[in-house]
Amino acid sequence: MSAVISIRIPKKLKRELDELKDMVDWKKEIINFLEERIKMYKKIKVLNEVHRILENHPFVPENYGSRSVREDRDSN
């Protein structure tokens, strides 16, 4: 099932679209563009959420991992 969206564009742009309609499938182009933009904005949304979570995460000192491994090795 599909849905209809409509937008107003400048007349000059519409004329240019019409000039190229024999070369370009505008419907396909617009759908592909929207799909790509949706993917991009979903990624941005996830990254923003990760960033928000990490901001509230406690700070881990630099070299903490290597120091912890060294301490574990030395304790055996």
- What does the pLDDT look like over 2-40, one tens digit per residue? 999 999 999 999 999 999 999 999 999 999 999 999 999
Residue 13 is assigned to a structural domain of this protein: no
Separation between Cα atoms, residue 17 and residue 11, nearest integer Å: 10
- Global pTM reads 0.68
Residue 48 is assigned to a structural domain of this protein: yes
Residue 32 is assigned to a structural domain of this protein: yes
Per-residue pLDDT band at 76 (split at 50, 70, 90): low
Contact criterion met (CB below 8 Å) for 34 and 25:
no
Helix locations, the chain, DSSP H: 11-19, 26-55, 64-74
Q: Which residue range is the domain that position 41 belongs to?
A: 24-55
Residue 72 is assigned to a structural domain of this protein: no
